[in-house]
Each structure stands twice: as structure tokens, then as C-alpha cells.
Amino acid sequence: MPTLDRRTFLAGASAGIGASAAALGLPAPAWGQGSGEVDIVVVGAGAAGIAAARRIAAAGRRVVIVEASDRIGGRCATDTRIFGVPIDRGAHWLWGADVNPVTKLAAGTGLDVYAAPPGQRLRIGRRYGRESELEDFLAVLVRTNRAIVEAARGKADVACQQVLPKDLLDWRPTVDFVLGPLPYGKELRELSAVDVSKAMERDTPAFCRQGAGALLARLADGLTVRLSTPATKINTWVRGKVEVDTPRGTLVARAVIVTASTNVMTAGKIRFDPELPKRHLDAFSRLALGSQDHVFLEFDGAPLGPQRDDLIVEKADGPDTAAMLANVSGTTLCMIQLGGKLGRDLSGKGEAAMVDWSKDWLAKLYGADIKKAVRRTYATRWAQDPWVMGAASAASIGGAGSRTALTEPVRDRVWFAGEAVHETQWGTVNGAWLSGERAAEAAMRKFGWITTPRPAGEPREAPKRPRRQPTAQPSRPASPPGLSWPF
């Protein structure tokens, strides 16, 4: 098969990246050189792909990223055109800001990363919950999380729903939502207790005022990225090499790092010759992506109050519920989070159905007049994105070990990375980033390109924080495990 010649490759890469930067409102960056034959090809320009490529480039090796879509960022996607201000269509929360490698690197980008307000507010009907009611809710979450952790110590994995305390009473629908569809995009009956129990504490969150996608674009500065170039086939039969076929030609390298989502992998959009081992195929299928989408509503004035980035959940009376981040980054936008079965169903009906449901939900909580204050609207539909096909990974019952399985290379030529490949920080930007760095280092060590720990000054993997149990506190307490948005 013909390889990409250097001139064609560079011209296509420069044109594609310039367009992406313009869409984000950023200056067109000067991207590094590339050729038809490199040391490592990275498939996917999301957080994992960018992290891997940066690590490889820092070691002085030749690397190129091929990206199927027409932009960089993957599930970190910032848009400034819809409302005239940045909105994160995908990942928005940057967890563990004090140890997160992405937030640490943000200091050198010139973008504004700030700490998110702690905790959340509880809406009960047309009023906010009292301190005693919020304390009751947190106490229920404490007991539920303990039950899941205890169940995970058993001999067999079970569904999270199976081990819930029997006395949740009227808190049950709210617990179901904030421990299932909200953080993971799936119902508790679909979630592995072992996988959920391993999730590292998601606390000290931060936001990027210009958007998480804009931040990743800055961190990709200097890398060779080829947009609108899907990898269609990866051939490892070639002795000592790997061939990556794309519609624009074939790249030849010593290794490839694949960061495509688990749903893209199970859909067979990238063919492997020879086929991947059954262990890897099973792992992808057991880590299917959940459903999480954002509905943005722009308001005339501030009907939701003056607090910036105000996280609000309701005491639900059934499974059809949502959560909201009000006055995003100090704007008049609210971001409503839809997840799980309700989110999937609404997304399948289209953007208008998602917006209409969100307006009705707000009217139930704040009165019918709030609908009159809504101006422009927008809804994401990640399941319909052909190069993502969902939100974040969540293991099915018996699938917790699949994340470890995906860290194993195939024929010492193919490595996998992405949020799904991190054992404790799956579903997060930092988990994806760390898995990309880890895959890059594993590949380079295999070929003897690096033999020492990563250079001083580069961010190291975050320490493994134990899952803490939340304590009930008045006003705006810290978010307990599970009451968080990884997407």
C-alpha cells in the first residue's frame, strides 16, 4: 500500500488543525513535522491521545496523531459559536485539581482554570431543601456507598442495584439517579459493584472558563495532528512494524496507541489484521459507554439566582429526573444533565424532545413562568457522534477486570489508552490523560527508547486516594462519592 508522502501529509495536517483552532476562537498553532513513517502512530486526538503524543515527542521520538473527526479534543469539545461564549459539549469537570496533570499543565496555557464551588443544592418541589433534609440525603448516600463497597468484597460481582439498602424509602429515586445515570450514564442495575467501588474519589473539581476542549487544544500545540483521517485498519503482520491504513494513505511505525472509545471499537470501525485477541474484544464489550448529554438553556436575566456554577439536584419522585449546573462560569446559561435510560430515549427522539423535556422539568421545580425566560437552546447527542458513540465507560457486571485487560499490549505493537483503560479514574479527563502517558511510556520502554523515570518537571500520576465517606454538613457540603459528573 502507498505511504503518505511528507508534503501531502503536512499540508493536510496544517489545514485541518487551523480550521479546528478557528472554531474554538484560538489562533492557528504551528504544528510539528510529520512523515509517512514515524516511530509511533497515535489514533485519536482526545485527552489520552494528546497525552501520549506529548510524552513520545518529549522523548525525542517521531509521532503523529490521526483523528477521525474534524477537530481535536475527543469527548472534550468546546463550542463558542452557539451562544457566543464557551460551552463544553462534553467533559466539563476537571477532578482532583490539586493533583490532576491536566490542571497542572493548564498554568502554562494562559487559560483560566478556577476551583468549582463545593457541594450541591437540593431542590424539593418548588423550594430548596433545608439543612436537615440535605443531611438526611447525605446520610443515605453514606450508607448506600458502604453497601456497594462491602458487596464488592464478595466472591462474585453483582449489580449495584442488588445491594442497595432496603430502607431508602422516598430517597430511593434520587439515590438511583445520583449514583447511576448522573455520574456513569447507566442505571444501577447495569453497573458492576466492583467497578464502582474502585472509582477513585472525585473531589476538588475545577473548571476552565474557556472550556475543557479549548484547554486540550492548547496542550496539543506543537504536535502533528491529522484531522478527518480515521484509522480504518491496523496491520501487525509486518515484521517489526505496524501499518495504519487511513483514507489518505498508510502510515508505517514501530507501534500504535489506540485511544478510540469502547463503543467505536466494538462497532468494528477499526479493523485489525490479525484480529484482536478475544480477551480484548470481550473487554471492550464489557466497558460499553453510558448515555450522558447536556441541554443548554440561555436565560433572559438570572431566574435561577445569582450563584455561579450552582450544582442542583432534585428529590425525585421517579426515574425521570436530571441535574443542573446553573449560571455556568458566571453566564446566564444553565446546563442540564440527562443520563441513563431517560437520556438515551430523549436523545433518540432528537434535540427538540430533549429541550422540551428540560424546560418542563425546570417548570416543575421553579414554576411555569421560567419557560418564558428561555432564549436560545442547544442539546448534545453523543450517542449519535459516529466517532464516539456515547459518553464514558462503565463496566457491566463481571467486567471490572476489563480495564486491566486493556493495558496489555497486542503483539508488542498495539497499546490501548483512554478513560476506559484507567482502573480507578475511568470516566474522567485526568484518567484518560494518565492512561495515554502510561501507554506511551510502556511502548517506548519496550523498544528501549526510555529506560529511566519520566523527566523531572513532568506531571506524575495522581496518588491513589481512598474513597472517603461523606459527612453531612450544613449549607454546601463537599460532594459525596457518586454525586459528581465525570462527563
Write the pLDDT tens digit of every residue in 368-421. Answer: 999 999 999 999 999 999 999 999 999 999 998 999 999 999 999 999 999 999
pLDDT bucket at 22, cuts 50 / 70 / 90: very low
Q: Sort strands 333-339 and 414-416 into parallel, antiparallel or unpaired.
A: unpaired
Following CA atoms 103, 70, 7, 14 in sequence, which dihedral angle do they give, to the nearest 10 degrees? Answer: -50
Q: Which CATH superfamily is 6-77+210-288+389-446 part of?
A: FAD/NAD(P)-binding domain (3.50.50.60)
pLDDT bucket at 487, cuts 50 / 70 / 90: low
Phi then psi dihedrals of residue 133, to 5 deg: -70, -40
Amino acid type, 227? L
Q: Taken in order 97, 103, 107, 109, is the CA torsion positive or negative?
A: negative
Convert the pLDDT of each residue in 111-139 to its tens digit. Answer: 999 999 987 899 999 999 999 999 999 99
pLDDT at position 470: 42
> So where are the chain's domains?
6-77+210-288+389-446
Tell me if 420 sits within 8 A of 436, measured CB to CB. Answer: no
Q: How far apart are CA 229 and CA 66, in angstroms?
A: 6
- pLDDT over 70 (residue 45): yes
User: What mean pLDDT comes out for the span 475-487?
Assistant: 43
Please name the residues in contact with 98: beta carbons below 8 A apart, sequence gap of 6 or more: 204
pLDDT at position 481: 40
Give the whole-number percent of the chain exceeding pLDDT 70.
85
- pLDDT over 80 (residue 30): no
Convert the pLDDT of each residue in 277-319 to its tens digit. Answer: 999 999 999 999 999 999 999 999 999 998 999 999 999 999 9
Mean pLDDT of the chain: 88
Q: How far apart are CA 422 and CA 438, in angstroms?
A: 10
User: What mean pLDDT comes out for the span 141-161?
Assistant: 95
User: What mean pLDDT comes out for the span 151-176?
Assistant: 95
pLDDT at position 145: 94
Convert the pLDDT of each residue in 199-246 to its tens digit. Answer: 988 888 999 999 999 999 999 999 999 999 999 999 999 999 999 999
How far is it between the farthest Cα atoms of the chain? Answer: 69
- pLDDT over 50 (residue 70): yes
pLDDT bucket at 193, cuts 50 / 70 / 90: very high
- pLDDT over 60 (residue 4): no
B/e letters for 341-372, b = 16+ CB within 10 Å, e = fewer, are: bbbbebbeeebeebbbbbbebbebbbeeebee
Q: Sort strands 63-66 and 40-43 into parallel, antiparallel or unpaired.
A: parallel
Q: How far apart are CA 296 and CA 378, in angstroms?
A: 5
Q: Taken in order 328, 329, 330, 331, is the CA torsion positive or negative?
A: negative
- pLDDT over 70 (residue 440): yes
How would you list the strands of the sheet with 333-339, edge to edge?
127-128, 121-124, 310-314, 323-326, 333-339, 292-299, 374-379
